[in-house]
Structures are given as structure tokens and as C-alpha cells.
Amino acid sequence: MSQTVDRALNILPLLAEGPADLGQVADRLGVHKSTALRLLRTLHEHGLVYRQSDQRYRLGARLFALAQEAVENLDVREIAHPHLVRLNESCGHTVHLAVHEEGEVLYIDKVDSRYPVRMYSRIGKPVAITVAAVAKLLLADLPDPERRAFAEKLDYPMYTARSTPSAPAFLRELDKVREQGWATDLGGHEESINCVAAPIRGADGRAVAAMSVSAPNVVVTEDELLTLLPLVRRTAEAISGEYSGRTPTTQSGSSSSSSS
Amino acid sequence: MSQTVDRALNILPLLAEGPADLGQVADRLGVHKSTALRLLRTLHEHGLVYRQSDQRYRLGARLFALAQEAVENLDVREIAHPHLVRLNESCGHTVHLAVHEEGEVLYIDKVDSRYPVRMYSRIGKPVAITVAAVAKLLLADLPDPERRAFAEKLDYPMYTARSTPSAPAFLRELDKVREQGWATDLGGHEESINCVAAPIRGADGRAVAAMSVSAPNVVVTEDELLTLLPLVRRTAEAISGEYSGRTPTTQSGSSSSSSS
DNA sequence: CAGAGCCATTGCATTCTCTGCAACAGCCAT
DNA sequence: ATGGCTGTTGCAGAGAATGCAATGGCTCTG
């Protein structure tokens, strides 16, 4: 809608691939160097772009701050977090919280007591939408025609032999998920990883988020993981209750701490 | 430099404060609603802004993805990470990695084996620049006049009684830090938290990053924490060596995994 | 049920901003 | 020195963004 802004914003994903100099940016944008320069300058002033010592441009620091503020403003996350922690404490497995946004499903929170390595790297990342348990729940909740249209547009990569192979299979799966009110991913994305998920619903009954517990085969079998289903569903229910205002919000939110 | 882009980008921090509707955005931007609408649309198309069900706008998902890619492209981080993990394994405390960028010092990595809660929330967040050990190291490395000018412009909030109170005190501290090649933060930000930090230097000797180990008083005393100093410095040295190409980069980088 | 009021949205003419060009400056390598 | 490479700036023209006013959808109210 706005050419200038459009061009400027196209620079961001471009730089996300790696640092680039003025010429490269101008070329890939299809504009004159001077134009690219001015766009980069504006981005720079806003801190979205950083100029490193070799004069090349990189994505800047403000981007982190913005992304962080964005995630902190998601009220579902705020409410859900203590529940996720509690669930994690009682079962020990990885717990995820995800939402549906603009055709993508992405993690907005995660608690993992065992593998702290690179934990943050998953938050904000779109999930494998055709296989992830949380994705199934969120998509199953869409109105019929929309769901159908969406399923048609998807790719169905075979991450493993148990991945969802096609749109019809996916739609069948969604029907089942909607029916039973919970979902699983049994090795559909990574051979050795299973998940159980339950939806979090707002006051109007629509799924606003979904949560899941994931564990590798080597720790618990599929059957053992399914044992946790009632607990997961209860947790999701508790969050739903609080989110939709039915429950008086047990205690106040968390605080923060810090260090250097 | 570019009015349109400038306006569009001003929307982002505005929305970071919380969701807003078209009218509010237009007002705070000082432009006509139709203009604001078109800007928001453009941002929307790029996924930087999300329109929630009540028609109000929020920061969008793409922001996460971008911030994530940005952080993954920071090569210091890539190289440092395994070292940080190893250090964390051997001492058990929180380990941070930070860089200096555009007048801010921010964490770009963190390993924390004990408190998985909200781990990610610290990454990308600007540190308390007047007290954090990593900030002292990075600023101590600036050329004299620049350092001086920068120190003058800072605020010196008294987080605790031991916070750096003023620019002169800060500059003295930086001199000391530069002298000794390492830094501490002893309760300067949070009464009960101490840190020890060491710089990571590139081939030209300039500090490209700094790392620290932090622990609360209740776990280890100041003196005990200082015991770790040699280990921290050795780790920083190892990372420096690898980053500047002196060391043959032990093994290859990491991979990724996933779940749902 | 009608009507008022609010908000988002659109078409259009005007105007102002952005664009691309060309010239300039700094840097490195030849 | 000199040529080529990069980033940078001034300028005039052109195209794009702007604000206005009018429309359409919605909810709240009488």
C-alpha cells in the first residue's frame, strides 16, 4: 500500500539472511543506491538496522527489544506462564504455549527443565503446522470453509513417515481433534518426539492458544505420555478459566529479576 | 530521512506499549486516520503488525522471526555458545554473553541451569549499563573521548546503595576495569546478586563482547564467586582465540531440533 | 425499529516527498 | 599517481503519499 515503507520493510528479511552492504541492498531491492541509502538510514535511526564496523548493515538491537515487548504484551502468555511452570514441575517435560496468527502457528512460551540450551531460539518460531499438536488444535477451531481453504494452501512435507501427508488427511485429523478436544503429535515431526496438547479457550469458546507437553521416546513411551493427558487438559482448562475471567485469577502475576 | 518510513516505524514502539486502534495511532502519530491506516496496512502485510479480533493493532509475529534470525547471525554468539555451556556445566551458575551496540549493551546469550523460568526474556534486553559488569568491560574499551562523552550522557539510577552514583565514579571504575582486564558487579543492580565478567576480544584487540557469571549471595559469597575469575577469564580467552581465528575452532557448530 | 454516532475504509485532487541521476569524495589496489 | 570501487550529497522532475470528504458497516440509544 505504501511503496516507500514497503521497500524499507523488505530490507529487514533481506538483512536477516546476513549482513549486506549498500550495493547489495540496492540491487536486491531493485532501487538506486541513493534510495537504498536513505531507507537504510531511516531504519538505522530507529535502531532496526545496525551498521557494523566494515560498513555493512545488520539487523539492529531495537528489533530484540520490540520482539520482547511484543511477547510480553500477550496476555494469554502472562496468565498461562505460572500454570506452564507448575505443569513442568510436576511432569518434568517440555511445555509449550502457542498461538495462531496470520496463517502461522508459533510458540510464545516454553518451559523446559532439562535442556536449557538454546531455549529461547524456539520462541517466536513458526511450528511445523501440518503435524504439530498445538497447530492441529488451533486450526481445528477455524470455521469450516476457512479451514478447508487453508488446508489446501499448505505444503505437506514428510518430516517422518508419520507426518501428515496431504490436505484431506489433515482435514480428517482436524475433525478428529475437534471432536475429542485434544491432539497429539506422535513422531510426526521428529521420529523420536511425541506431544500431547490441549486448547485454551476464551470466554466465547474460541481457541485463543494451545499448550502441549513434549517428550522424547527415550524418556517416556507414547502410552506413558498419554497418561498425562488429563493433567494437560486440566491445566489448559485452568488457564482458560482465568483468561476468560471465570476464575478470580489465583494470585498476582510474576515479577522480574536481573543480573549482569 | 524518509518521512513515510519514519512515521511507519514510529508505530512500532507505540504498539509495543500495548494494542491500539486506528484513531489512537493516527493521533499519536499526528497524521490523518487514512494515512495511519495505510501505514498500518503496509506493516501488516509484512507481518510486523497484527490485527486482533477487536480490530485493534498489535505487534506481529514476523518480529519474532526477524529478531531470532538476527540473533542467530551474530557470529560471536555462535562461537561462544558451546563455551558458555561448558562453563555453566562446570560452575552451575548463570552465564551471560553481551555486546555493545549503539549506546546500549545487551545480552545476546544466556545459559542458566537452575532457573528455567522466563529465561528468554532477558535475551535482547538492554542491561543496566552503569552497573553491569559486562557493560563496564565493553565501555572501558571505548576510546577515551568517546567514553567520557558517553558517560556524561548517562543516567545513574541508584538501583542499590552500591550502584555507580555518577559519571566521574563511573569513569574511575572503567579505568580500573580496563587496567585489570576484568570486571565485577557486586550488588550494584540487585542487592543480592554478584557477577564476574571478562572481555572477548577480536583479532584487533578490541572487545567485541563480554561474558559474565552471576550468582545470588545466598548461593555463593562474593569471595567464592571471585574464585571463579580465572575460569571465566580462561573461557573468555578461549572464545577470543576462536573468534579471532587464532584457534582452529574445535568442532563444527550446532544444529537444531524441534517438537510440538 | 429507526436514527444517531462511532469507527474503519475508499476515491480523488493536490501537494509534497521520494526518487534517480550525476557529480563528488574517500579508500584500496594496481 | 591512477583507476575502480564504495558510500555520499544536491537537485529537478515525477510519482507517491497526504488529507479531505463521503461511504459503509457497526453498535448503542431513544
d(CA B215, CA B223) in angstroms, rounded, equals: 12
In angstroms, the CA of B40 and the C1' of D14 are apart by 26
What residues in B contact A4, CB-CB < 8 Å? Answer: 2, 4-5
Q: What are the pLDDT digits (tens) for A13-31?
A: 988 888 888 988 998 898 9
How many CB atoms within 10 Å of residue A79? 22
Domain boundaries, chain A: 3-65, 74-243
Whether A250 has a pLDDT exceeding 60, the answer reads no
Interatomic CA–C1' length for residue B11 and nucleotide C2, angstroms: 40
pLDDT of residue A255: 39
Look up the CATH architecture of domain B74-243: 2-Layer Sandwich (3.30)
pLDDT score at A114:
54
E-strand stretches of chain B: 49-51, 57-59, 94-101, 104-111, 183-186, 193-201, 207-216
Contact B61 A5 (CB under 8 A): no
- Res A159: pLDDT: 92
Pairing mode, if any, of strands A193-201 and A57-59? unpaired
Alpha carbon of A173: minimum distance to chain B alpha carbons (Å): 16
Distances (CA, A) of B232 to B96, B126, B130, B213: 11, 22, 21, 7
DSSP per-residue codes, B39-93: HHHHHHHTTSEEE-TTS-EEE-THHHHHHHHHHHT-HHHHHHHHHHHHHHHHH-S
- How many angstroms separate the CA atoms of A209 and A239, rounded? 10
Contacts of B260 in chain A (CB under 8 A): 96, 127-128, 131-135, 185, 188-189, 193, 195, 197, 212, 214
- Please state which CATH number belongs to domain A3-65: 1.10.10.10
Res B219: pLDDT: 80
Mean pLDDT of A42-61: 84
Kindly report the nearest CA distance between residue B81 and chain A, in angstroms.
9
User: For B23-73, how does the pLDDT look when each residue is reduced to its tens digit (9 = 90+)?
Assistant: 889 988 988 988 999 899 999 989 899 888 778 898 887 887 788 777 666
Q: Is the CB of A113 under 7 A from strand D?
A: no
The Cα angle at residue A56 between residues B104 and A35, in degrees rounded to 5: 105
- CB-CB: which of B71, B134, B260 is closest to A185? B260
Each residue's pLDDT tens digit, B85-96: 889 888 888 899
Q: Give the integer Cα–Cα distance in Å for B155 and B171.
A: 13
**Closest alpha carbon to C1' of C16, residue:** B3
Question: Which B residues in the span 31-70 are in contact with A, Cβ-Cβ below 8 Å?
Answer: 38-39, 41-43, 45-48, 50, 58-61, 63-70
Instruction: With cut-offs at 50, 70 and 90, classify the pLDDT of residue B193.
Output: confident
- Pick the residue with more confidence: B119 or A97? A97
Q: What is the DSSP letter of B258?
A: -
In A125-166, alpha helices (H): 133-140, 144-153
Q: What value does the mean pLDDT take over residues B135-153?
A: 87
Query: What pLDDT does residue B260 have?
Result: 45
Among A41-45, A88-92, A123-127, B188-192, whose mean pLDDT is lowest? A123-127
The residue among B211 and B117 whose pLDDT is bigger is B211
Average pLDDT over residues A197-205: 88
Spell out which residues of A between 183 and 222 contact strand C, using CB within 7 Å: none
Residues of A with Cβ-Cβ distance to B191 under 8 angstroms: none
CA distance B51 to chain A (A): 9
List all residues of chain A from 202 to 231 with a beta carbon under 8 Å from chain B.
212, 214
For residue B116, name the pLDDT band (cuts at 50, 70, 90). Answer: very low
% of chain B with per-residue pLDDT over 70:
87
Rg (CA), chain B: 21
**What pLDDT band is residue A251 in, cutting at 50, 70 and 90?**
very low
Q: Quote the CA–CA distance of B166 and B187 in Å, as a whole number.
A: 17
Q: Does B157 touch chain A (CB under 8 A)?
A: no
Distance CA A46, CA B10 (A): 8
* Percent of chain A surpassing pLDDT 90: 42
Whether B251 shows a pLDDT value over 50: the answer reads no
Is some CB atom of chain B closer than 8 A to the CB atom of A242? no
Q: Is the pLDDT of residue B8 over 60?
A: yes
Task: Tell me if chain B has a CB within 8 Å of the CB of A20.
Answer: no
Report helix, strand and coil shares of chain A as percent, to nearest 5: 45, 20, 35
Q: Is the pLDDT of residue A252 over 60?
A: no
Is the pLDDT score of A237 beyond 90?
A: yes
Say which residue, B158 or B241, is predicted with more confidence: B158
Distance between CA atoms of residues A27 and A36, nearest Å = 9
**pLDDT reading at A161 higher than 60:** yes
Identical fold, A3-65 and A74-243: no
Q: Does position B1 have pLDDT exceeding 50, yes or no? A: yes
Nearest CA in chain B to A127: B260
d(CA A10, CA A138): 29
At residue A188, does pLDDT exceed 60?
A: yes
Strand partners, A213: A95, A196
- Sequence-distant (6+) residues with CB within 8 A of A86 are A235
Residue A84 in this model has a pLDDT that exceeds 50: yes
Residue A259 pLDDT > 60, yes or no?
no
Kindly report which listed range (A58-67, A212-221, A241-250, B197-206) carries the lowest average pLDDT score. Answer: A241-250
Element (H, E) at A128: none
CA–CA gap between residue B172 and residue B194 (Å, rounded): 20
CA of residue B93 to C1' of nucleotide D25, angstroms: 58
Which of A63, A195, A260 shows the shortest C-beta gap to B132? A260
Which residues of A in 34-53 have their CB below 7 Å from strand D's atoms?
34, 37
Q: For chain A, where are the E strands, in sequence order?
A: 49-51, 57-59, 94-101, 104-111, 183-186, 193-201, 207-216
Q: Which amino acid is at A119?
A: M
State what percent of residues in chain A have pLDDT above 70. Answer: 89
**pLDDT single digits (tens) B206-250:** 788 999 998 888 788 888 889 999 999 999 998 887 776 555 443
* Mean pLDDT in residue range A218-228: 89
Please write down the long-range contacts of A224-228, taking CB distance under 8 Å and 24 or more positions apart.
Answer: A225/A93, A225/A194, A225/A195, A225/A196, A226/A184, A226/A196, A228/A91, A228/A93, A228/A196
Q: Is the CB of B180 under 7 A from strand D?
A: no
* Residue B253 binned pLDDT confidence (cut-offs 50, 70, 90): very low
pLDDT for the residue numbered B250: 37
